[in-house]
Amino acid sequence: MLIIDGPARTSKSTLEIAQKADLIIQPTGASRADLVPAVKEFNALKKAGIPPKKLLFVLTRLSTLAEAKAIQEYLKKTGYACSPHYIMEKASYKQVQNEGKSIGEVSYTSLRKQVKGLITSLLDYLN
């Protein structure tokens, strides 16, 4: 598995990566400032010939469960898949990243479980 953090726009390089990738994950928050460009990016990739099945949204930095459900419903209307698992906005995630660790290394069991659920769902989506 190779993870590439690419630019948030469709460039020649982004398209080359997308053509070779098995899955393109677009992390997005709940604000329109996050959602509109994310959907535009997937629309551009689809227009360039990338199959929509290879495009997956993952929601991050969410404040409430209601917000998560509302954004999942919004993204469902775009025709692109959205992971049923998401990452809430938590100070503990920021702290562990400030220590140079991944959010999966957070000390709280419930938060580690949230991250594990997301990772498992991504691997399942690939299969």
Statement: residue 125 has pLDDT above 80: yes
95 backbone dihedrals φ, ψ, rounded to 5°: -60, -45
Average pLDDT over residues 87-116: 96
pLDDT score for 2: 63
pLDDT value, residue 1: 60
Helix axis angle for 65-76 and 32-47, nearest 10°, is 30
Q: What string of H, E and C letters represents the secondary structure of 15-60?
A: HHHHHHCCCEEEEECCCHHHHHHHHHHHHHHHHCCCCHHHEEEEEC
For residue range 46-59, what is the model confidence (pLDDT) as tens digits?
999 999 999 999 99
Number of neighbouring beta carbons within 10 Å of residue 76: 12
The pTM assigned to this predicted structure is: 0.87
What pLDDT, on the 0 to 100 scale, is given for residue 106?
96
Q: Is the pLDDT of residue 82 over 70?
A: yes
